[in-house]
Structure 1
Amino acid sequence: MKYAILNRGDELSLELTERFHYLAAEQQLIHHDESPDIVVSIGGDGTMLQAFHRYIDQLNSTAFVGIHTGHLGFYADWKADEIELLVQLMGNHNQAETLQPRIVKYPLIDLIVTTHHQETTRYTALNEFTLKGIDGTLVAQIDINDQLFEMFRGDGICVSTPSGSTAYNKSLGGAMVHPSIASIQLAEIASINNRVFRTLGSSLVLPKHHHFDIFSRKEQRLLLTIDHLNSTVDNLSSIRCQVSDQTVTFVRYRPFPFWNRVREAFLGYE
């Protein structure tokens, strides 16, 4: 089995990376950054997002597993003091057909960003994307399945995957959605409601076969954030949002149900 590692860069994560390489060599695992079977993220959820985007062109052949070195993350199954067990299980996976881990696949978001010059750029997000005004409020029209739904004015819009629904989306009052449900969620960021701009005021969850479009309705500088990546857009025409045909694969060497993660992260119960 080939593996690659991305770490957060702090002292503990660097130490764990060196330890992992040493233990992996004993298990005859092969360090291969270019085309790994498994990518190991050592750090937090931000480190996993970096790993995802680094290997975004290899999602069909690469799986991910996380070791957290801080607070419990939603994408990390393993604690720092469990690294020996993880490597041992990966070695067993490498050597014995009867010890196969569970494979889980999470939905992603596909975006098609179109400018006034008809230039299009495609993006894929694991957690969420947000669109915000830089110099003032965001003014946008939102269509669902090619029909006008609402006119928005406010600080911005957040669109999340089910796994990302526990992040920024939750702080905006959005629902937490189980990752087995292929869907996307749109949440408003400080919307303004009056006679001209009227919005629903609650988050929307759309299934896989639906899409929505965000149309810029004035000249405005906008900040587009895809997971941890930021870009400025000066001439946005529209953004089409839908559930991606691709998924991200996580390898589970032991059970760690999604609602257990939610309970531990937000309620403090182990």
Structure 2
Amino acid sequence: MSNRNNMFFYYHKDDEIEEKLAPLIELAKENNFNIVEDDESANVIVSVGGDGMFLQAVRQTGFRQDALYAGLTREGESSLYCDFNLDSFDELLHSVLHDEMEVRKFPVIKTTVNDGRTFYCLNELTIRSTIVKTIVLDVYIDDQHFETFRGDGMVVSTPTGSTGYNKSNKGAIVDPLIPCYQISEISSMNNNNFRTLGSSFILSKGRTLKLVEIEDGNDHPIVSFDNEAYPIRKIDKVEISMDDTVVKTVKLKNNSYWNRVQRMFL
């Protein structure tokens, strides 16, 4: 346990959360955990507040490869990333203390905008029109032109992200044990003048995807990474790939990804 006894809580501070967390923090201290204020010195990073907060915690702490992530939901919340809730925090402590936990490794996508800064996404990347006009994108797979897309935008999702915006655009739900990413269209134009694939498609980890924005009167699309928009005025191209980066999360036994999908949607 000595190599993972520093715990950091990530949450939006308010009186309600502070009140509920106080006894949990004391419980963690009683079980020989050190509660740290700096996420860089933590071995276990715990988000409080559901999937959105979990995504923020992973992003804001830099997709740590040397730390375990765990998520706590509030009462009555459903979640795909969080196995625990505020009332079952003791189960999380017991799992970590006694090596009874199972660790999931969720694949992420690596994205670069305009040959600049690199970002990782645990859920999805989207590129969308910001005005009432279609966006035009040249789509390249492994540097070979695949299609020219016209529509409201595109979603590139990880396997775990496939249950989100991707699913609402009729994409498939993908098992996170498969290292791949999925591309889905948002309201594409298909007629005698313009043609796209018209369905989502899945690329393996070894392939690269490039989306090049074509200036066609819609020169200021918006790109988002998970639940954060990219603050740049001019976006020319976005390159997407996968490397060996993963997000390691603490998992309850007998609570598979598909168990959670079932609870969320069926």
Give deviations 1:159-213, integer Å, cap 9, x for gaps: 1000110111111100000111000100000111234431111111100011111
Report whether the alignment pairs 1:80 with 2:80.
Answer: no
Partner of 1:185: 182
Greater fraction strand: 1
Q: Which residue of 1 aligns with 2:32?
A: 28
Query: SS of the residue aligned with 1:150?
Result: strand
Unaligned segments of structure 1, at least 5 residues: 94-98
Please state if 1:63 is matched with 2:74. no
Deviation at 1:16, TM superposition (A): 3.0
Residue matched to 1:111: 111
Report the counterpart of residue 220 of structure 2 in structure 1.
Answer: 221
Contact 1:7 1:17 in 2 (8 A): no
- In structure 1, how many angstroms separate the alpha carbons of the residues matched to 2:247 and 2:160? 11
Equivalent residue of 1:239, what SS? strand
Q: How does 1:51-200 map to 2 (within 5 A)?
A: 51-56=57-62, 59-69=64-74, 70-90=76-96, 92-93=97-98, 99-114=99-114, 119-135=115-131, 136-200=133-197
2:125 maps to amino acid: F
The Cα offsets for residues 28-83 of structure 1, whole Å up to 9 and x where unpaired, read as 101122321111111110110111012115x2211111111142110110122212
Letter in 1 for 2:158: T
Instruction: Mark the CA change 1:19 to 1:254 in structure 2 (over 3 Å): closer, same or farther.
Output: farther
- Cα distance in 2, alignment partners of residues 105 and 17 from structure 1: 27
Task: Detail structure 1 runs of 4+ shifted over 6 Å in the superposition.
Answer: none
Distance 2:17 2:166 in 1: 28
Aligned equivalent of 2:264: 265
Identity %: 33
1:202 aligns with 2:199: yes
Equivalence for 2:17: 13
Distance 1:124 1:222, change over 3 A: same
> Which string of whole-angstrom CA distances, capped at 9 and with x for unpartnered residues, describes residues 231-268 of structure 1?
2443322111112321110122433101100100001x
More displaced 10-residue stretch of structure 1: 203-212 or 191-200: 191-200
CA distance in 2, matches of 1:159, 1:224: 11
CA distance in 1, matches of 2:127, 2:231: 10
